[in-house]
Amino acid sequence: MSDLAHGRVKREVAVVAPTASGKSDVAMAVARATGAHIIAVDAMQVYRGMDIGTAKPSAADQAEVRHHCIDLVDPSERFTVADFKVHAASARDAADRAAAPVLLVAGTGLYLTAVIDDLQLPGEWPEVRAQLQAEPDTAVLFARLHELDPLAASRCEPSNRRRIERALEVTIGSGRQFSSFGPGTSSYPPSDVQQIGMRWPRETLSKRIEHRVHSMMAAGLLAEVRGLADRYDLSREARQALGYRELLEHLAGQISLDEAVAQIVLHTRQFAVRQERWFRRDPRIEWVTVHEDPVGEVAPRITALLR
C-alpha cells in the first residue's frame, strides 16, 4: 500500500549520488529553503563516533536542520537494512507530525530501495551467517551462490561480500532461494518519492574523492579510528567502512600510513563506481549532470519539488 493510502500527503524527495558528490551541501540548502527534515540513508552514518570518515553532517548542521537516522547504534553493534527500515519509518512519521517535507539523502542504494519500495525482508540465521563468514575466499562463496541460486548471483557484484553472504544465508537458512522472496531490488514499481540523481563527469568525481580523503585525514580521521578501536570491539560491518578498514590495518602494523591513504582513495573510487551502477539501474531517477556547483545546479530543482 502506498504512503498516500496511509494518509501521508506531504512531499518526499530522494537525492541520490555517489560519495563525494556534494549531496549534504545540496540537502542543507534545500532544507533551509523548504523546512524539510533530512533522512540520512547511509549504512555507516548510523554508527556513533564514526563522524569524519562517513562525512556525517556537522553538529552545527544538525542543530540547524532536523536530521534523522544518524548515530543510531554503537559501532560494536550489528545493524541491518531491516533495522534501518524501522528507523526510517519513525523518521517519516516525525516529519508528518511536524508537517515538514522529507528529503532522503542517499548513498546506500539498498537502504533507499528498502524504504521507498517497502522491501519485504527475509529473516536471519546467525549460525549460517557465522559459517559463511568463516570462509575467507569471497570467490568460493560467490561460486556457491551461483550453484544454489543463479538468479541471485546474477544480481550480485562478485566482490560484494556482504550481499553474497546475505543471499547464501537466506537460501541455506530458509531452504528457499533468496531470489524467490519477491522481485526485491530488480523491480521498480511506481513510487510517491521523486528521486533526483547527481552525476559528475567521472574524472572530476575522482579528483573530488581524492581531495575529500586528504581533507578527512587533515581533520583527524586517524585519531578517530584509533579512538574507536580503543573504545569498542568494532562490529564486522563497522570495520568494513571505507577509511576505517584501511586505517585499522595501518594501526595493526600491516601497512604504512601512506599506503593506507592511497588505498582509501582507490577503494572509495571503486565504491563510487558501484554506487553509480546501482542507481543507474533505476529508471525512476531523474539525473542532473553537475559541472561546477552542486548546490546551484541541483538544489533549485529539489526545492521546487518540495514546495
How far apart CA 307 and CA 298 sit, in angstroms, is: 15
How far apart CA 147 and CA 165 sit, in angstroms, is: 14
- Whether the Cβ atoms of residue 275 and residue 44 lie closer than 8 Å to each other: no
pLDDT per position as a tens digit, 70-104: 999 999 999 999 999 999 999 999 999 999 999 99
Domain positions in the chain are: 4-120+185-306, 126-181
- Whether the Cβ atoms of residue 174 and residue 125 lie closer than 8 Å to each other: yes
Class of domain 126-181: mainly alpha
Helices (H), 149-241: 150-154, 161-174, 202-218, 221-231, 236-239
Please state the separation of Cα 244 from the chain's center in Å.
15
pLDDT of residue 163: 87
How far apart CA 50 and CA 241 sit, in angstroms, is: 9
The DSSP H or E segment spanning 84 is helix 81-97
pLDDT of residue 243: 98
- Whether the Cβ atoms of residue 80 and residue 124 lie closer than 8 Å to each other: yes
Q: Is 167 exposed, middle or buried (0-12, 13-18, 19+ CB in 10 A)?
A: buried
In the chain, the amino acid numbered 268 is T
CA angle 286, 17, 122 (to 5 degrees): 95
The CATH architecture assigned to 4-120+185-306 reads 3-Layer(aba) Sandwich (3.40)
**Considering only CA atoms, which of 37, 158, 200 is closest in space to residue 27?**
37
- What does the DSSP 8-state code read for residue 55? T
pTM for this one? 0.84
pLDDT of residue 185: 64
CA angle 116, 59, 293 (to 5 degrees): 65
User: What is the rounded end-to-end Cα distance, in angstroms, of the chain?
Assistant: 25
pLDDT in tens, the chain (307 residues): 334 334 444 599 999 999 999 999 999 999 999 999 999 999 999 999 999 999 999 999 999 999 999 999 999 999 999 999 999 999 999 999 999 999 999 999 999 999 999 888 888 899 999 999 999 999 999 999 999 999 999 988 898 898 899 999 999 999 999 888 765 666 788 999 999 999 999 999 999 999 999 999 999 999 999 999 999 999 989 999 999 999 999 999 999 999 999 999 999 999 999 999 999 999 999 999 999 999 999 999 999 999 8
In the chain, the amino acid numbered 129 is R
CA angle 86, 72, 216 (to 5 degrees): 130
- Whether the Cβ atoms of residue 286 and residue 196 lie closer than 8 Å to each other: yes
Chain position carrying cell 551502477: 277
